[in-house]
Amino acid sequence: MKRKENSLFGNRLFLVGIFALLVFGISAGYSALKTTLSINGSTTISKVGWDIHFENLDVATGSATGTAAIDPTDKTKITYSITLAQPGDFYEFETDIRNAGTLNAILQSIEETNTLTDEQKEYITYSYSYTTPVAAYIADPFTAVTDTVSGIPAKNDLLDAKKVARLKVRIDFSDDITPAQLPTEDSVVSFTYKLNYAQN
Protein backbone atom coordinates (compact mmCIF):
# COMPACT_ATOMS: atom_id res chain seq x y z
CA MET A 1 0.00 0.00 0.00
CA LYS A 2 2.82 2.30 0.88
CA ARG A 3 4.41 1.51 -2.46
CA LYS A 4 1.24 2.51 -4.27
CA GLU A 5 1.07 5.82 -2.38
CA ASN A 6 4.69 6.52 -3.29
CA SER A 7 3.89 5.74 -6.91
CA LEU A 8 0.89 8.11 -6.88
CA PHE A 9 2.95 10.78 -5.19
CA GLY A 10 5.67 10.31 -7.78
CA ASN A 11 3.11 10.56 -10.57
CA ARG A 12 1.73 13.74 -9.08
CA LEU A 13 5.20 15.22 -8.87
CA PHE A 14 5.78 14.20 -12.44
CA LEU A 15 2.52 15.87 -13.55
CA VAL A 16 3.31 19.03 -11.57
CA GLY A 17 6.73 19.09 -13.21
CA ILE A 18 5.17 18.67 -16.65
CA PHE A 19 2.64 21.41 -15.89
CA ALA A 20 5.44 23.75 -14.71
CA LEU A 21 7.37 23.04 -17.90
CA LEU A 22 4.30 23.79 -20.01
CA VAL A 23 3.67 27.08 -18.22
CA PHE A 24 7.34 28.03 -18.57
CA GLY A 25 7.32 27.05 -22.26
CA ILE A 26 4.19 29.10 -23.02
CA SER A 27 5.64 32.12 -21.18
CA ALA A 28 8.88 31.78 -23.12
CA GLY A 29 6.87 31.47 -26.33
CA TYR A 30 5.00 34.69 -25.63
CA SER A 31 8.26 36.44 -24.76
CA ALA A 32 9.76 35.38 -28.06
CA LEU A 33 6.92 37.09 -29.95
CA LYS A 34 7.44 40.60 -28.46
CA THR A 35 8.58 43.34 -30.88
CA THR A 36 10.00 46.82 -30.22
CA LEU A 37 9.93 49.45 -32.97
CA SER A 38 12.27 52.47 -32.63
CA ILE A 39 12.81 55.57 -34.76
CA ASN A 40 15.97 57.54 -34.02
CA GLY A 41 17.29 60.51 -35.96
CA SER A 42 18.45 64.10 -35.89
CA THR A 43 17.30 67.24 -37.67
CA THR A 44 19.64 70.06 -38.62
CA ILE A 45 18.09 73.52 -38.77
CA SER A 46 20.00 75.62 -41.29
CA LYS A 47 21.11 79.10 -40.39
CA VAL A 48 18.54 81.61 -41.64
CA GLY A 49 19.58 85.15 -42.42
CA TRP A 50 17.46 88.21 -43.13
CA ASP A 51 19.76 90.95 -44.33
CA ILE A 52 18.75 93.55 -46.91
CA HIS A 53 20.81 96.71 -46.91
CA PHE A 54 22.46 99.44 -48.98
CA GLU A 55 26.04 99.19 -50.26
CA ASN A 56 28.39 101.00 -52.63
CA LEU A 57 26.99 104.52 -52.89
CA ASP A 58 28.43 106.47 -55.82
CA VAL A 59 27.70 110.14 -56.58
CA ALA A 60 27.37 111.03 -60.26
CA THR A 61 29.85 113.36 -61.91
CA GLY A 62 28.47 116.88 -62.29
CA SER A 63 26.27 116.67 -59.20
CA ALA A 64 25.71 119.86 -57.24
CA THR A 65 27.30 120.56 -53.87
CA GLY A 66 26.24 118.07 -51.25
CA THR A 67 26.83 114.80 -49.45
CA ALA A 68 25.13 111.43 -49.50
CA ALA A 69 26.17 108.49 -47.36
CA ILE A 70 25.03 105.12 -46.07
CA ASP A 71 24.63 105.23 -42.30
CA PRO A 72 27.64 103.27 -40.95
CA THR A 73 25.66 102.03 -37.93
CA ASP A 74 22.50 101.14 -39.87
CA LYS A 75 23.03 100.20 -43.51
CA THR A 76 19.30 100.30 -44.19
CA LYS A 77 19.48 104.12 -44.21
CA ILE A 78 20.93 106.71 -46.56
CA THR A 79 21.01 110.39 -45.67
CA TYR A 80 21.88 113.26 -47.97
CA SER A 81 22.19 117.01 -47.74
CA ILE A 82 22.49 119.03 -50.94
CA THR A 83 22.25 122.55 -52.27
CA LEU A 84 20.76 123.24 -55.69
CA ALA A 85 21.85 126.81 -56.40
CA GLN A 86 20.39 127.45 -59.83
CA PRO A 87 18.10 125.99 -62.51
CA GLY A 88 19.76 123.00 -64.20
CA ASP A 89 21.54 121.85 -61.03
CA PHE A 90 21.03 118.23 -60.05
CA TYR A 91 22.27 115.73 -57.53
CA GLU A 92 22.40 112.05 -58.44
CA PHE A 93 23.72 108.95 -56.76
CA GLU A 94 23.50 105.20 -57.25
CA THR A 95 23.55 102.52 -54.62
CA ASP A 96 23.14 98.75 -54.35
CA ILE A 97 20.19 97.19 -52.61
CA ARG A 98 21.72 93.90 -51.55
CA ASN A 99 19.89 90.84 -50.27
CA ALA A 100 22.75 89.26 -48.34
CA GLY A 101 20.43 86.90 -46.47
CA THR A 102 19.25 83.37 -47.19
CA LEU A 103 15.57 84.22 -47.75
CA ASN A 104 13.99 85.58 -50.91
CA ALA A 105 12.39 89.00 -50.53
CA ILE A 106 9.57 90.91 -52.14
CA LEU A 107 9.03 94.66 -52.19
CA GLN A 108 5.89 94.81 -50.09
CA SER A 109 5.29 98.57 -50.25
CA ILE A 110 6.86 101.95 -50.94
CA GLU A 111 6.35 105.02 -48.79
CA GLU A 112 7.07 108.55 -50.00
CA THR A 113 6.74 111.74 -47.99
CA ASN A 114 7.94 115.24 -48.78
CA THR A 115 7.54 118.85 -47.73
CA LEU A 116 7.30 120.26 -51.25
CA THR A 117 4.96 123.21 -51.62
CA ASP A 118 2.90 123.59 -54.78
CA GLU A 119 5.35 126.29 -55.88
CA GLN A 120 8.38 124.05 -55.29
CA LYS A 121 6.75 121.21 -57.24
CA GLU A 122 7.09 123.44 -60.28
CA TYR A 123 10.87 123.28 -60.24
CA ILE A 124 12.05 120.44 -57.95
CA THR A 125 11.83 116.83 -59.17
CA TYR A 126 12.76 113.63 -57.35
CA SER A 127 13.16 110.35 -59.25
CA TYR A 128 14.05 106.78 -58.33
CA SER A 129 14.83 104.04 -60.84
CA TYR A 130 16.67 100.76 -61.24
CA THR A 131 19.86 100.72 -63.28
CA THR A 132 21.71 97.79 -64.79
CA PRO A 133 24.40 96.50 -62.40
CA VAL A 134 27.96 97.08 -63.61
CA ALA A 135 29.91 94.13 -64.98
CA ALA A 136 32.14 94.03 -61.89
CA TYR A 137 29.25 92.65 -59.86
CA ILE A 138 29.24 89.45 -61.90
CA ALA A 139 32.57 88.46 -60.28
CA ASP A 140 31.24 89.28 -56.82
CA PRO A 141 30.27 86.36 -54.52
CA PHE A 142 26.73 87.64 -54.94
CA THR A 143 24.88 87.50 -58.24
CA ALA A 144 23.51 90.69 -59.68
CA VAL A 145 19.84 91.00 -60.55
CA THR A 146 19.48 90.89 -64.32
CA ASP A 147 15.76 90.42 -64.89
CA THR A 148 14.14 93.33 -63.02
CA VAL A 149 16.71 96.08 -63.15
CA SER A 150 15.02 98.68 -65.30
CA GLY A 151 12.14 100.94 -64.59
CA ILE A 152 10.68 102.36 -61.42
CA PRO A 153 10.69 100.29 -58.20
CA ALA A 154 7.20 98.92 -57.69
CA LYS A 155 5.25 96.79 -55.27
CA ASN A 156 5.90 93.03 -55.67
CA ASP A 157 9.36 93.44 -57.21
CA LEU A 158 11.44 90.40 -56.26
CA LEU A 159 14.89 90.46 -54.72
CA ASP A 160 16.01 86.87 -54.26
CA ALA A 161 18.58 85.76 -51.71
CA LYS A 162 22.15 86.71 -52.67
CA LYS A 163 20.95 89.12 -55.38
CA VAL A 164 21.65 92.82 -55.91
CA ALA A 165 19.54 95.58 -57.44
CA ARG A 166 21.12 98.92 -58.33
CA LEU A 167 19.05 101.99 -57.49
CA LYS A 168 19.52 105.51 -58.89
CA VAL A 169 18.26 108.54 -56.98
CA ARG A 170 18.14 111.95 -58.66
CA ILE A 171 17.00 115.39 -57.53
CA ASP A 172 16.64 118.05 -60.23
CA PHE A 173 16.24 121.82 -60.17
CA SER A 174 14.39 122.22 -63.45
CA ASP A 175 15.69 124.70 -65.98
CA ASP A 176 12.38 124.64 -67.81
CA ILE A 177 10.75 127.37 -65.73
CA THR A 178 9.89 131.03 -66.16
CA PRO A 179 11.52 133.84 -64.17
CA ALA A 180 8.27 134.20 -62.23
CA GLN A 181 8.57 130.63 -61.01
CA LEU A 182 12.07 131.07 -59.57
CA PRO A 183 12.26 130.84 -55.76
CA THR A 184 12.54 134.21 -54.07
CA GLU A 185 14.24 132.93 -50.90
CA ASP A 186 16.25 129.96 -49.64
CA SER A 187 14.14 127.00 -48.57
CA VAL A 188 14.79 123.50 -47.26
CA VAL A 189 12.91 120.57 -48.72
CA SER A 190 12.88 117.20 -46.99
CA PHE A 191 12.04 113.97 -48.69
CA THR A 192 11.71 110.40 -47.37
CA TYR A 193 11.57 107.32 -49.56
CA LYS A 194 11.10 103.90 -47.90
CA LEU A 195 11.28 100.51 -49.59
CA ASN A 196 9.61 97.95 -47.33
CA TYR A 197 10.80 94.40 -48.03
CA ALA A 198 9.19 91.24 -46.66
CA GLN A 199 9.95 87.54 -46.95
CA ASN A 200 8.64 86.12 -50.21
Residue 3 maps to a domain: no
Q: Mean pLDDT over all residues of the chain?
A: 80
Residue 27 maps to a domain: no
Find the domain containing 97 and state its range: 52-199
pLDDT exceeds 70 at position 190: yes
Number of domains composing the chain: 1
pLDDT digits (tens, 9 = 90+) for 52-73: 999 999 999 999 999 999 999 9
pLDDT grade, residue 131 (50/70/90)?
confident
Buried b (16+ CB within 10 A) or exposed e, 167-195: bebbbbbeeeeeeeeebeeeeeeeeeeeb
Residue 11 maps to a domain: no
Residue 119 maps to a domain: yes
Mean pLDDT computed over 17-39: 64
Please tell me the predicted confidence (pLDDT) of residue 135: 43
Residue 1 maps to a domain: no
pLDDT exceeds 80 at position 128: yes
Residue 40 maps to a domain: no
Angstrom distances, CA of residue 200 to CA of 41, 49, 50, 76, 158: 31, 13, 12, 19, 8
Please tell me the predicted confidence (pLDDT) of residue 56: 92
Residue 168 maps to a domain: yes
Residue 137 maps to a domain: yes
